[in-house]
């Protein structure tokens, strides 16, 4: 019954052929400079690097080449709901008007089911939960009489599904015995799956702490002996994995249910799996959920909860299919457990769903949501395949979100692309020849504009260069005031004068603020290193000081 399929390459590489390739031979090679040379030779060499159309402004960092242009944004959008906002044609309007009285009855049934389920759950938790209404941490399983009382809530959950138009649900296969597969994982498309699994399995779930505060819902999920996790806290994630392991090891607890994608998708793709379900090393039963439809996409993508509920209430019937797949067992080599176990499970689910596994992740949904919040259009163009970026470059979602804020401030166009002039205006600089060379490091396709993914990957690639950290240290040591060990605004102006055209006083203030992280009107070593860690391409302005050259830029 074990899944023995080999790990596909598509699980660890981006959806499209975006691998990094060596740059064309037109790029300048790495220059090695002697400590003893005359200034004219140094100036000529520096001018050559700056002004030759094939020059690489970062050649002094290492012989590694910049990444190739990763092409147009991937056509895949795993988060987009395919139903028109409010339209859908004459049939959709006629159906909605016809079913409005039915929707009212369904809403009443929904309210009654919620109220009855809440009341039963409140009684079941009375005297067993702590003062916050939660089951006591580290406690044992729910007593048998309380579990029997929870059947009232489980039947209420089925009534809720009925009110949403899921009058019957097609099931294929059956749940494996709890002793064989204590952990169940499923794809996540809508808020319907948690309600279904609550009725079907009454499992323990892993949930964000924010769900605990939801009216009615928070009380009901507490009865599932929920494992709370803050996905942005390493300590919280570690504690959650330990709790998963503890409850999976004891057959007195219900199954542990996880949605390893970490967010909802539109069901047409699988995004990268989180590893929390696979680290404990217990056999896992994958479950795939489908929502066959013609007119109404039931996925909870870029659509509000109330709008999605209204559309469900105004359907004749909503189709849902649930398929229990064969149990997947962890690899025998323990060191490879989590990664390969997750990939084997993802491949089995993708094959059953006949969909494509991708390198998108929850981080991409956060990026797209921020672009929507900023009022941008074509927000899927901002996605970066965050799982791939994290795997290759070690960039966290928090770091990507911080860089996104700067990118959004650069006035991207309707396609999510930023031009060189707007890029450098964000840093208070004009688009000088050196600035153009730096910009072309990101824009190797010579489209005169870049996407957020090109910006993020280019910055991450620079930080990985072998000599980058040492070059930053050298740059600060050669630019700082010997007495204060800091860089003033006047000193920064002198540095720029030796490497490029000097910006105006107003623009100089903007650039200085970029380096002055703590806003104390001076650039300390921590300020300098933090700024270059965030914007590593700015190291090119210090290349002349690092190489001990007099830098001349020919306009």
The 10s digit of each residue's pLDDT in 448-458 is 899 999 999 99
Give residue-wise pLDDT tens across range 339-349: 899 999 999 99
Which pLDDT belongs to residue 85? Answer: 61
Query: What's the average model confidence in pLDDT over 110-115?
Result: 94
Q: Is the predicted pLDDT of residue 477 greater than 60, yes or no?
A: yes
Query: Is the pLDDT reported for residue 39 higher than 50?
Result: no
- For residues 318 and 364, the answer to whether their CB atoms sit within 8 Å is no
In 296-437, DSSP assigns E strands to 321-324, 356-357, 417-419
pLDDT of 30 reads 39
pLDDT at 505 over 80: no
Higher pLDDT, 288 or 233: 288
* Res. 482 pLDDT band, cuts 50 70 90: confident
What is the predicted pLDDT for the residue at 378? Answer: 86
Which are the contacts of 525, defined by CB distance < 8 A and separation ≥ 6?
476, 480, 485, 486
- For residue 431, what are its two tokens? 């688009």
For residue 184, list its beta bridge partners: 257, 285
On the question of pLDDT at 136 being above 80, the answer is no
pLDDT higher than 60, residue 312: yes
CATH top-level class of 89-357 = alpha beta
Q: Mean of the pLDDT values across residues 468-483?
A: 90
Work out the average pLDDT over 265-289.
93
Q: Which residue has the tokens 């007195």?
A: 252
Pick from 44-58, 94-108, 472-486: least confident = 44-58
| pLDDT exceeds 60 at position 71 | no
Per-residue pLDDT band for 543 (boundaries 50, 70, 90) equals: confident
Q: What is the pTM of this model?
A: 0.80
Position 69 scores a pLDDT of 44
Q: How confident is the model at residue 432 (pLDDT cuts 50, 70, 90)?
A: confident
Domain 465-547 carries which CATH code? Answer: 1.10.238.10
Q: What mean pLDDT is predicted for residues 483-508?
A: 77
Kindly state the percentage of the chain with pLDDT values over 90. 47
* CA-closest candidate to residue 515, choices 485, 494, 543, 535: 535
- Angle of helix 192-200 relative to helix 144-163, nearest 10 degrees, comes to 140
Specify the pLDDT at position 221: 80
Of 510-519, 525-534, 545-554, give the lowest mean pLDDT range: 545-554
Write the pLDDT tens digit of every residue in 212-226: 667 777 778 888 888
- Please give the pLDDT value at position 503: 65
**pLDDT for res 18:** 36
Residues near 67 by beta carbon (within 8 Å), at least 6 away in sequence:
20, 21, 444, 457, 458, 461
Closest among 7, 9, 10 to 360, alpha carbons compared: 10
**What average pLDDT does the structure give for the chain?**
82
| Burial of residue 225, with CB atoms counted within 10 A of its CB: 0-12 exposed, 13-18 middle, 19 or more buried | buried
Contact criterion met (CB below 8 Å) for 525 and 476: yes
Res 108: pLDDT: 96
User: Mean pLDDT over residues 25-43, rounded?
Assistant: 38
Q: How many CA atoms lie within 13 A of 344 on its CB side?
A: 23
The DSSP bridge partners found for residue 450 are: 418
Q: Which residues pair with 171 in a beta bridge?
A: 322
d(C-alpha 91, C-alpha 473), whole Å? 67
Domain layout of the chain by residue ranges: 89-357, 362-433, 465-547
Q: How much is the average pLDDT of 408-415?
A: 93
In terms of Cβ atoms closer than 10 Å to its own Cβ (0-12, 13-18, 19+), residue 100 is exposed
pLDDT for 57 beyond 90: no
What is the arithmetic mean of pLDDT over 157-172? Answer: 95
The answer to whether 246 and 282 are in contact (CB under 8 A) is no
**Whether the Cβ atoms of residue 542 and residue 475 lie closer than 8 Å to each other:** yes
**Residue 372 CB contacts under 8 Å (≥ 6 apart), including other chains:** 302, 379
- Stronger pLDDT, 42 or 544, i.e. the higher one: 544
Q: What is the token pair recorded at 229?
A: 């996790």
């Amino acid at each position: 019954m074990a899944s023995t399929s080999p790990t596909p390459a598509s699980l660890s590489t981006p959806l499209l052929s975006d691998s990094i390739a060596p740059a064309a031979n037109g790029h300048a090679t790495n220059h090695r400079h002697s400590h003893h040379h005359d200034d004219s030779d140094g100036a000529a060499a520096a001018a050559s690097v700056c002004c030759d159309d094939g020059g690489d402004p970062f050649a002094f960092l290492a012989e590694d080449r910049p990444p190739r242009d990763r092409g147009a944004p991937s056509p895949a959008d795993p988060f987009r709901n395919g139903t028109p906002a409010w339209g859908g044609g004459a049939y959709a309007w006629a159906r909605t008007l016809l079913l409005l009285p039915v929707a009212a009855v369904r809403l009443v049934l929904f309210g009654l089911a919620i109220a009855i389920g809440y009341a039963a759950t409140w009684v079941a938790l009375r005297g067993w939960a702590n003062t916050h209404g939660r089951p006591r941490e580290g406690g044992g399983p729910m007593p048998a009489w309380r579990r029997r009382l929870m059947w009232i809530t489980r039947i209420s959950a089925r009534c809720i599904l009925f009110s949403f138009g899921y009058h019957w649900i097609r099931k294929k296969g059956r749940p494996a015995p709890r002793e064989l597969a204590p952990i169940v994982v499923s794809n996540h498309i809508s808020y319907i799956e948690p309600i279904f699994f609550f009725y079907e399995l009454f499992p323990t779930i892993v949930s964000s702490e924010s769900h605990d505060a939801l009216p009615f819902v928070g009380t009901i999920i507490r009865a599932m002996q929920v494992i709370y996790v803050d996905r942005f806290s390493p300590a919280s994630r570690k504690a959650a994995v330990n709790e998963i392991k503890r409850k999976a090891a004891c057959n007195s607890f219900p199954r542990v249910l996880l949605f390893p994608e970490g967010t909802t998708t539109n069901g047409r793709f699988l995004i990268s799996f989180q590893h929390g379900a696979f680290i404990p090393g217990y056999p896992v039963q994958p479950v795939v959920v489908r929502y066959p439809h013609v007119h109404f996409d039931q996925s909870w993508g870029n659509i509000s909860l109330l709008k999605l509920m209204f559309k469900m209430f105004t359907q004749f019937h909503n189709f849902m299919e649930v398929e229990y797949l064969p149990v997947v067992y962890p690899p025998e080599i323990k060191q490879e457990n989590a990664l390969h176990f997750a990939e084997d499970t993802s491949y089995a689910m993708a094959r059953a769903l006949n969909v494509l596994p991708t390198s998108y992740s929850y981080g991409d949904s956060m990026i797209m949501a921020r672009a929507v919040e900023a009022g941008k259009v074509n927000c899927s163009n901002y996605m970066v395949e965050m799982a791939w970026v994290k795997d290759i470059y070690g960039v966290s979602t928090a770091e990507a979100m911080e860089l996104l804020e700067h990118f959004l401030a650069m006035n991207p166009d309707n396609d999510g692309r930023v031009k060189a002039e707007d890029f450098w205006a964000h840093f208070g600089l004009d688009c000088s020849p050196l600035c153009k060379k730096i910009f072309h490091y990101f824009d190797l396709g010579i489209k005169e504009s870049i996407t957020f993914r090109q910006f993020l990957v280019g910055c991450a690639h620079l930080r990985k260069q072998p000599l980058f950290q040492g070059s930053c240290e050298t740059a600060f040591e050669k630019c700082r005031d010997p007495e204060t060990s800091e860089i003033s605004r006047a000193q920064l102006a002198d540095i720029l004068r030796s490497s490029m055209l000097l910006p105006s006083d107003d623009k100089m203030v903007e650039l200085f603020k970029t380096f002055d992280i703590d806003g104390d009107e001076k650039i300390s070593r921590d300020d300098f290193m933090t700024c270059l860690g965030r914007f590593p391409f700015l190291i090119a302005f210090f290349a002349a000081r690092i190489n001990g050259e007099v830098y001349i830029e020919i306009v």
